[in-house]
Structure 1
Amino acid sequence: MKVSILGGGSEIGASCLHVHIGETDLLIDAGMRVHGDDLLPAFGMLDNLGEPEAVLVTHAHADHIGALPIVHRLYPKAPIFATPPTADLMQIMMRDSFKIMEQRCLETRSLIPYTKEQMEETLRAVRLFPAGGTITFGDAKVTLYRAGHILGAVMFLIEGGSEKLLVSGDLSFKAGRTIPGAEVPAGTRPDALILESTYGNREHSDRNTEEKRLADNVAEVIAVGGFALIPAFALGRAQEVLLILQDYMDRGLIPEFPIYVDGLVTPISKIYRRYPQFLKGPVAHRIRTNGDAFLTEGRCTAVQPKEREAVLQGKPACIIASSGMLIGGASVWYAERLIGGAQNAIFITGYQDEESPGRKLLNLAEGESDELELNGTVHSVKCRVGKYGLSAHGDAGELNRFIDTVRPAHTLLVHGDDEARAALNERIEKRYRSILSENGEAYTFRRSASGREIRSGGPQRGPDRALKEKVGCLILYRKKEDEPFHLALCTGVHGRTHSLICQTPKGKQIRLSPDQTAETIGRWNRSFDELQSDSGEVFAFARPFIKKIDWERAKEGHRTFAEMVSMCLPEASLKQRLAAALVLQALPDRFRTLNQGTARYRIDRESRRLLASLALPVQGLKMNVTLAMDKIRERLADQPHFIRCGADGLGTADERITLYFDFPDTVGLEERKKLSGKIKDATGWTAAFSDSVRTDLLQAKIGESLGTSVSPSIYLDTKCVSLPIKCPENGGEIAEKIKKETGFTLQFKDEPPAPADAEERRGVPPEFFRTQTPSPRLENNEAIHEAKVWAADRGITIYKASMKQRNGLAYMEVHFITPEVAMRHTADMEELSCRTGLPITFAKNPKQNEIIRTASELIPEDWGLQKNPSLHPGEALLTVKLPEKPPEEEVRRVGERIEERTGYRLSVLVR
């Protein structure tokens, strides 16, 4: 095993390690220096080293990522891996590093190391470590452990060729208020430990004392009318300071005062909000309840550059701005204006490089000088200066205890100045063979002669252990048997109740008992924004993801969910895994068993058939009906004959979405079949086709073609239109055109009637309803009286029955409240035909006043309806406008009553 130090060995800055272990080469970090003429690691060493199979990033600070574009340019095929929070933070931090580097190159008139385009290409190339925390490159296995330094920071245990290497990255064990401390890989006993030593020569003062001192001093400055500037690292330190000051205000330990946040602090704080599962419990709770833990409304205000002057003209306040070493950015702008005021203060809370203005300011406070240069201008320092120990690095004692817990064969000290590394080196026990690393040097380590392997059968898997293994995993659950499934991330275990503490994608904390959990979907390390988006997409409509699952690949036997995923899924994305879990939950109980808290699924020919058939009652197999109809309308927007669609049979086994066309015969059987298939794939819904015809449009189209207004007789059962005029010269062309556009045949006055063959048009609602058995015809008045008796016998409401004649055919027309209600009584109208001996039809126009009266009676008074409902006969829709939206369940009940009485659906709009 060989470790080459390209940068960050005998210094803090430009961290970059080349590791050769087993037969694999890896590069870890590629940062830039904050000061000096040489910004970059010694990349020239790479000429004599193996090409890395991957680049691993410990965390997003500039001294660890600032030179990655050069590495990507050298090795474009080597993937760059980071944790999801680090990848998001890199988008901000690397662009900021580029600005600093660009400015310095302009000042020194030197050539910029890489271009903005190369930087953007690098950011696009970043890939994410898997949620499971392990990944393999060549013959090297890499395991991630939380480093505690900042959000997303990790250390790497690399195993290859029977050797182990532990790379600490930057470590913090107490980690302050924002994130948990480092996860110590106890007893790993690596052959070599590469350990940071930033504070190897000191012990941190008591954190609570330092926090109190900072809060009290800020309050003192503001109380006398001054401004307190806290230059802070935008990533990590600024979030800590914001939490400290607000906590002291919340507890009444200091007075309330405004806090202004400037620079990169605001966008980085937004990224922290996206990963509550990486934060400490109280911070995550504040995010859940307030939407933010850092920028509290009414107290903390994010400032844009154009607003800075107004801040300093306003009330005394605390200003938290980057950068933390006063090298550049917003903090320098404020420092230049505040440094000369005795009532003001600049409080330093983080590490200061030897050459930084921040370090010089601290030296000045010790009496070495009373002048400080900022942006090339020398300022007389009159403000108060203070330093506070809020470090995000382990101190000497913590680092020693870390070494003693890990128990390496060799320890290579990096990432510290000479004093810090030398002091730590003196304290480390000799058995851990510590080495003071130097930039540009390579170090070779060999497996110790004892071959120190750690052998352990491991603890037995008990109930508590099984629950703890779910921490960090996504849990599919439902609170009650008849409720839909939901998803949550397990963040802990409640020991006393043996329940899981979980967080939903929307940030709500819940507690689940083991019997409420249906399946463990897998680990999750990405943002909650992504979790909410991906899971919401599947729950809304799982069908597209389910169709990609190859259930035939499942081998027979009793299989766990993990085994099913590995066998059947083309990809192990959250969407695919969640879709697969929903399908498996829909299997009949005889195919599911629970063994020591793990669900197993019986796979045989029958269960494979059920899984593949899409016939199971799978949650999300159909899209929400409203969204489905929107999608159908969008798909049919260019279909010239499409009018509307509506849902029928909701809550029954015959649920469907019915499509309405002005002239249904223009949509042939083949087109209907294709359209049904496309709708099924796009929405999960079965499509039905209404055969109702827009006779008003048909009449208008005929009049337009003839160039004159006519009053035709329309026979829906025979699809024939009888015209009371002689056939014009171009009558044949007109008839052919009408036939093609509507499916109706024209019959002019001087033409013989076309044969009627209603049997050829099965499924089309007939114009007339006739009894199959001939019966004597009643006289007209008797027939009308019989219609009234018939309606009373059947409990049917009709408004009129009248006698009419068409082409010598006498028939009765019955008036219902709407044609939609009439179509519910086709069998009843056949009975009326038998009782009267007459063909029966119904009036095609709705009784609009009656519909409005009926709806107004059914709508509750407390809805505050002030105007009559609006009618849309073409869509069988009734719309009401209200000052407020009533409860959904009440709207549903009222809508059902209105539709039952009128055949019209209810739509509620809020004014």
Structure 2
Amino acid sequence: MNYPDIIHHGAGEGVTGSCHQLQMDAEHGLLVDCGLFQGRDADLKERFGESASAIDFSLATIKMLIVTHVHADHVGRIPQLLAAGFKGPIICSEPSAKLLPLVLEDAFRLEQGRDERQIERCLTQVMERVVAVPFDTWFSVVNTPALNARVRLQRAGHILGSAYVEIDVEYPMEQCTKRVVFSGDLGASHTPILPSPKSPEQADILVLESTYGDRVHEDRATRQGRLEAVIDRALADHGTVLIPAFSLGRTQELLYEIEDILHRKSLSCSVEGSDGADGSLPVNWPQLPIILDSPLASRLTQVYQSFDDIWDDDARARQESGRQPLRFEQLITIDTAAQHHQTVNYLASTGRPAIVIAGHGMCAGGRIVNYLKAMLGDPRHNVVFVGYQAKGTPGAAIQQHGPKGGYVELDRERYKIKAGIETIGGYSAHADQRGLVDFVAGMPVWPSEIKLVHGEPSAKRRLGQLLEGKYSTKRKAVIID
């Protein structure tokens, strides 16, 4: 066998279950990510009698796991990996080391109920193996006469702590060195809070995600303006704006952009007068409550705040000017179940203007469901979607049937949709086609081999065609899987 060799145990053909084995020689291998299969990928595995969470490959040579970021489709199989006998370290960035136990604890509670001892035991096993490393720093992982290997994490700009992985594999006896780069999930341009990813210096082999390899996002630079316009229209109905959002990444971006809208509206109020007599201010913005109703999102947001030293220039400048982009005065966090139900009942009965951010992002569970049950039938309220709604989810049904005055099924009951329904694009946390191509083209030394993963066949095919076109103009050879 020729080394290094790459074997895909997930996301080789689909978009979830990311898990890639780099076999450096006969005795030394490592994994990059170990994520859950979700949605259609999970359905396909189960259709063929396989478990969507099983570890169905040998761990005999696997010495370590490297985590690119803590989304479930990249870390969700870690408990099963440990149960299968994995004994090595779990290497990740410093922010990811703080986020990982919060994400896994939430997943454990959903899967295993509230057996606190079992949850604590699982979390302890995971955290005993976590090794947090700084960005942009090489560290050795193998040092033998026949093999030297070192690893470096670079910022990927997808969510807090996300990284792409550079691995130098040296074979001293053969006087040969190969650099393998795993992109993980790359962030989109104009992402709030986090710097955009920079291209690697070089790669012999690049394993590149292709989630949006066949499309370009809506203009992200103007999305805050579109969000502001939608909220203005919604609040003119003198009701509550419901925003379903995932707890990690999307919620923090929303808070950041809403804080900026509030900041500018407050300045406008101070100039024009707080009564909004000119008709430009449908509600009193300085007193508008922004309600974050997700205990997990609140904890994750605190981690974002604690790593403000790796925020981008704009975010740091806001904070240095005395603003709190993720912890502003009008932000109200709801923790307990009792507080949650009290808030739902209050807003539903009074119709007081407010903005509520709550999970689940596709309305398939979580606290947003109770808000929807209580408010979808009232035309004063509005639901604003800022993320993709997968087919078959309640969110997709609301998007489709809401404008027609239809209904949605929540917990096996039908609810008529009279509330306003809005959708804003440009909130994907993934690089689009242009960003993926630029990631490759921005390298001073282009890869000699690219393996496309984490994408639907059409997305991989279109991205592959574009990259081949780029390479043909450079008269370079490339193999694209």
TM-score, normalized by length of structure 1? 0.44
The residue identity in structure 1 corresponding to 2:75 is: I
Task: Tell me which residue corresponds to 1:370.
Answer: 406
CA distance in 2, matches of 1:194, 1:363: 36
Whether the 8 Å CA contact 2:169–2:178 is kept in 1: the answer is yes
Task: Tell me which residue corresponds to 1:665.
Answer: none
Secondary structure at the aligned position of 1:26 is classed as: strand
**Residue of structure 2 aligned with 1:10, choices 9, 13, 23:** 13
CA distance in 2, matches of 1:130, 1:248: 34
Whether the 8 Å CA contact 2:94–2:134 is kept in 1: the answer is no
**Residue of structure 2 aligned with 1:411, choices 450, 459, 464:** 450
CA distance in 2, matches of 1:365, 1:421: 33
**Residue of structure 2 aligned with 1:213, choices 206, 226, 229:** 226
Q: Deviations over 1:774-819 (max 9, x none)?
A: xxxxxxxxxxxxxxxxxxxxxxxxxxxxxxxxxxxxxxxxxxxxxx
Matches within 5 A, 1:373-392: 373-388=409-424, 389-392=426-429
| Mean Cα deviation higher: 396-405 or 268-277 | 396-405
Task: Tell me which residue corresponds to 1:679.
Answer: none
Deviation of 1:414 after TM superposition, in Å, equals 1.6
CA distance in 1, matches of 2:417, 2:85: 48
Distance of aligned partners of 1:84 and 1:426 in 2 relative to their CA distance in 1, 3 Å threshold: same
The residue identity in structure 2 corresponding to 1:7 is: G
**Residue of structure 2 aligned with 1:278, choices 291, 310, 316:** 310
Deviation of 1:354 after TM superposition, in Å, equals 3.9
Whether the 8 Å CA contact 1:396–1:424 is kept in 2: the answer is yes
Does residue 1:54 correspond to 2:64, yes or no?
yes
The residue identity in structure 2 corresponding to 1:296 is: F
Deviation of 1:75 after TM superposition, in Å, equals 3.8
**Residue of structure 2 aligned with 1:20, choices 7, 20, 23:** 23
Deviation of 1:404 after TM superposition, in Å, equals 2.1
| Mean Cα deviation higher: 73-82 or 145-154 | 73-82
Deviation of 1:195 after TM superposition, in Å, equals 1.1
Distance of aligned partners of 1:280 and 1:344 in 2 relative to their CA distance in 1, 3 Å threshold: same
Deviation of 1:175 after TM superposition, in Å, equals 4.6
Does residue 1:180 correspond to 2:195, yes or no?
yes
Deviation of 1:355 after TM superposition, in Å, equals 4.3
CA distance in 2, matches of 1:153, 1:73: 25
CA distance in 2, matches of 1:401, 1:249: 34
Task: Tell me which residue corresponds to 1:898.
Answer: none
CA distance in 1, matches of 2:11, 2:226: 33
Distance of aligned partners of 1:365 and 1:15 in 2 relative to their CA distance in 1, 3 Å threshold: farther
Q: How many residues end up aligned between the 2 structures?
A: 421
Secondary structure at the aligned position of 1:43 is classed as: coil
CA distance in 1, matches of 2:321, 2:223: 28
Secondary structure at the aligned position of 2:62 is classed as: coil
Matches within 5 A, 1:293-692: 293-297=325-329, 299-304=330-335, 305-312=337-344, 313-314=346-347, 315-364=352-401, 370-388=406-424, 389-406=426-443, 407-429=446-468, 431=471, 433=478, 435-436=480-481
Q: Deviations over 1:78-124 (max 9, x none)?
A: 10111111011112111112233347xx9xxxxxxx96622432133
Q: Larger Cα Rg: Structure 1 or Structure 2?
A: 1
Deviation of 1:213 after TM superposition, in Å, equals 1.2
CA distance in 1, matches of 2:156, 2:82: 25
Distance of aligned partners of 1:181 and 1:429 in 2 relative to their CA distance in 1, 3 Å threshold: same
Deviation of 1:25 after TM superposition, in Å, equals 0.5
Whether the 8 Å CA contact 2:377–2:419 is kept in 1: the answer is yes
Deviation of 1:361 after TM superposition, in Å, equals 3.3
CA distance in 1, matches of 2:38, 2:437: 28
CA distance in 2, matches of 1:279, 1:83: 15
Task: Tell me which residue corresponds to 2:94.
Answer: 84
Secondary structure at the aligned position of 2:230 is classed as: helix
Whether the 8 Å CA contact 1:30–1:41 is kept in 2: the answer is no
Task: Tell me which residue corresponds to 1:153.
Answer: 162
Higher relative contact order (CA 8 A, sep 6+): 2
Whether the 8 Å CA contact 1:344–1:383 is kept in 2: the answer is yes
Q: Deviations over 1:250-292 (max 9, x none)?
A: 1127651211001122111111111111112332344456584
| Mean Cα deviation higher: 35-44 or 335-344 | 35-44
CA distance in 1, matches of 2:149, 2:364: 40
Does residue 1:125 correspond to 2:133, yes or no?
no
CA distance in 2, matches of 1:291, 1:91: 29
Q: Deviations over 1:617-645 (max 9, x none)?
A: xxxxxxxxxxxxxxxxxxxxxxxxxxxxx
CA distance in 1, matches of 2:123, 2:392: 27
Deviation of 1:382 after TM superposition, in Å, equals 2.5
* Unpaired segments ≥5 residues, structure 1: 107-113, 437-911
Task: Tell me which residue corresponds to 2:271.
Answer: none
Secondary structure at the aligned position of 1:399 is classed as: helix
CA distance in 2, matches of 1:235, 1:411: 29
Task: Tell me which residue corresponds to 2:276.
Answer: none
The residue identity in structure 2 corresponding to 1:351 is: Y
Distance of aligned partners of 1:9 and 1:350 in 2 relative to their CA distance in 1, 3 Å threshold: farther
Deviation of 1:308 after TM superposition, in Å, equals 2.6
Secondary structure at the aligned position of 1:293 is classed as: coil
CA distance in 2, matches of 1:383, 1:73: 47
Whether the 8 Å CA contact 2:105–2:119 is kept in 1: the answer is no
Task: Tell me which residue corresponds to 1:163.
Answer: 178
CA distance in 1, matches of 2:423, 2:184: 25
Distance of aligned partners of 1:355 and 1:415 in 2 relative to their CA distance in 1, 3 Å threshold: farther
Deviation of 1:132 after TM superposition, in Å, equals 5.5
- Percent sequence identity over aligned pairs: 28
Q: CA RMSD in A?
A: 2.6
Distance of aligned partners of 1:358 and 1:200 in 2 relative to their CA distance in 1, 3 Å threshold: farther
Deviation of 1:72 after TM superposition, in Å, equals 2.1
Distance of aligned partners of 1:308 and 1:290 in 2 relative to their CA distance in 1, 3 Å threshold: farther
* Unpaired segments ≥5 residues, structure 2: 143-147, 171-176, 269-280, 472-476
CA distance in 2, matches of 1:116, 1:375: 30
Q: Deviations over 1:716-775 (max 9, x none)?
A: xxxxxxxxxxxxxxxxxxxxxxxxxxxxxxxxxxxxxxxxxxxxxxxxxxxxxxxxxxxx
CA distance in 2, matches of 1:4, 1:59: 20
CA distance in 1, matches of 2:218, 2:297: 26
CA distance in 1, matches of 2:372, 2:11: 29
CA distance in 1, matches of 2:54, 2:371: 36
CA distance in 2, matches of 1:384, 1:13: 32
CA distance in 1, matches of 2:458, 2:135: 38
TM-score, normalized by length of structure 2? 0.80
Whether the 8 Å CA contact 2:259–2:325 is kept in 1: the answer is no
CA distance in 1, matches of 2:414, 2:181: 46
Whether the 8 Å CA contact 1:215–1:244 is kept in 2: the answer is no
Task: Tell me which residue corresponds to 2:205.
Answer: 192
Distance of aligned partners of 1:11 and 1:384 in 2 relative to their CA distance in 1, 3 Å threshold: farther
Whether the 8 Å CA contact 1:425–1:434 is kept in 2: the answer is no
Distance of aligned partners of 1:183 and 1:132 in 2 relative to their CA distance in 1, 3 Å threshold: closer
The residue identity in structure 2 corresponding to 1:241 is: L
CA distance in 2, matches of 1:34, 1:95: 18
The residue identity in structure 2 corresponding to 1:350 is: G
CA distance in 1, matches of 2:410, 2:480: 38
Does residue 1:202 correspond to 2:211, yes or no?
no
Runs of 4+ residues deviating >6 angstroms: none
